[in-house]
Homo-oligomer: A and B are copies of this chain.
Amino acid sequence: MIIKTQVVIPSLVRVKPGAIDRLGLYLKREGHTKAMVVVSQGMIPEYLDRVRRGMGEQGVSCIDWIEIGEASFETATKLFTNVRKETSAMIGLGGGKALDVAKYVAFLGRLPYYAVPTSLSNDGFSSPQSSLTVAGRRKSLAAALPSAVVVDLDVCKDAPRPLWLSGIGDLASKLTAIFDWKLAFHQVGEPVDDFAALLSDATVHQFLARPSFDLEGAQLLASSLMFNGIAMEICGSSRPASGSEHLISHALDATSARPRLHGLQVGVATYLMSLVQENQSERIDGLFNETGFWRQIESDPFSRAEWRSAIEIAPTIKDDFYTILSQDGAQAEAISLLDRDERLKACFGP
């Protein structure tokens, strides 16, 4: 007997220009002829056509084609109850919400899940959780990694710049997350997985070494985000990808009048926490400067009052999760930096 205890990591990974045209081929090769597709509302029609054509040419029929505008547990379970018996694969196509819903429906039904992001705005396309609202409150629900990741670099390269920048912000957060993890080791003995930390670090530096908005930049960003999502699954913890900066972003999601893109919030919080941590702030500042991240934030500044409140709420967001914000004075320091640091001052309205 073989006891089956496999960590299933995406077995099909295609990161290249034109990948969405070949999605049908990838499905066909794995023996799928009937798929359910969940797409983002407002998706560019050309992309839909290309996916449809590719599937058609390979004889893969799309037995359901669902547009998703919001990512809720209730929507996902409703969809699950309607999955047709003959469905053999689930496809998530588009942005975070469509992908989170598709991932969760596939998880409930134990269906192979193909993640096909059209932008690289965060690491969710290859993470083992789904971010869904449950009874109106956003939660991160346990799910499974996709069995296939298909990233069309041409498509992602042409994604709106704010989405790119969001992905860059999410990637930068690994630097403060790893710092918080090591801090938790020294302060409360939480075990650090050296290898996962190293992998997480390495993936960031890969992109940092040459940030650009061309095909090569998209490739580096895609693989960096993907390794990161997978690192979480491998070590069974969100620690390699998420620290105090994510707590602030979660707090904003719960309280802000108008939450922004995940990675934009996270990126600013990363810079802020790096100052409190005294950890690579210049490097982060340089990256944000070079890529236009700062300009993006300045063009639509955050509310200083909301951030003050978010910093206060942040440490209560997760139980037993030590970060720099658990230390005396760290919250006060962070709040005062909103008014003192030149970069940050430009990021906030009243």
Please pick, from B4, B15, B195, B210, the residue contacting A1 in the complex, using a CB distance under 8 A. B195
Chain B min CB distance to A144 (Å) = 11
Residues on B with beta carbons closer than 8 Å to the beta carbon of A135: 81-82
Bound-complex Cα distance A82 to B235 (A): 29
A156: CB under 8 A from chain B? no
Chain B min CB distance to A347 (Å) = 31
Question: Is B5 a contact of A1 with CB atoms below 8 Å?
Answer: no
Question: Is B2 a contact of A8 with CB atoms below 8 Å?
Answer: yes
Interface size on A, residues (CB 8 A): 46
A160: CB under 8 A from chain B? no
A14: CB under 8 A from chain B? yes
Bound-complex Cα distance A324 to B77 (A): 36
A44: CB under 8 A from chain B? no
Chain B min CB distance to A51 (Å) = 20
Please pick, from B12, B226, B234, the residue contacting A3 in the complex, using a CB distance under 8 A. B234
Assuming the A-B contacts A81-B134, A134-B81, A223-B202, are A2 and B13 also in contact, with contact meaning beta carbons closer than 8 angstroms in the complex?
A: no
Question: Is A6 a contact of B5 with CB atoms below 8 Å?
Answer: yes
- The quantity of this chain's copies bound in the complex is 4
Chain B min CB distance to A206 (Å) = 6
Bound-complex Cα distance A199 to B6 (A): 19
A259: CB under 8 A from chain B? no
Residues on B with beta carbons closer than 8 Å to the beta carbon of A15: 198
Bound-complex Cα distance A202 to B216 (A): 13
Bound-complex Cα distance A196 to B226 (A): 12
Chain B min CB distance to A13 (Å) = 4
Residues on B with beta carbons closer than 8 Å to the beta carbon of A9: 1-3, 195
Bound-complex Cα distance A2 to B234 (A): 8
A142: CB under 8 A from chain B? yes
Assuming the A-B contacts A198-B13, A206-B205, A223-B202, are A193 and B1 also in contact, with contact meaning beta carbons closer than 8 angstroms in the complex?
A: yes
Question: Is A194 a contact of B82 with CB atoms below 8 Å?
Answer: no
Bound-complex Cα distance A194 to B223 (A): 12
A299: CB under 8 A from chain B? no
Residues on B with beta carbons closer than 8 Å to the beta carbon of A5: 3, 5-7
Interface string of A135-170 (1 = CB under 8 A from B): 100000110000000000000000000000000000
Beyond A1-B193, A2-B6, A77-B77, list 15 extra A-B contacts (CB 8 Å): A1-B10, A1-B11, A2-B193, A4-B236, A5-B6, A5-B7, A10-B195, A11-B193, A12-B194, A14-B194, A15-B198, A199-B227, A202-B206, A205-B206, A209-B209
Sample (24) of A-B pairs whose CB atoms are under 8 Å apart: A1-B194, A1-B195, A1-B196, A2-B9, A2-B11, A3-B5, A3-B234, A3-B235, A4-B6, A4-B236, A9-B195, A10-B194, A11-B193, A11-B194, A13-B194, A14-B194, A73-B77, A82-B135, A198-B226, A202-B203, A202-B223, A205-B206, A206-B206, A209-B210
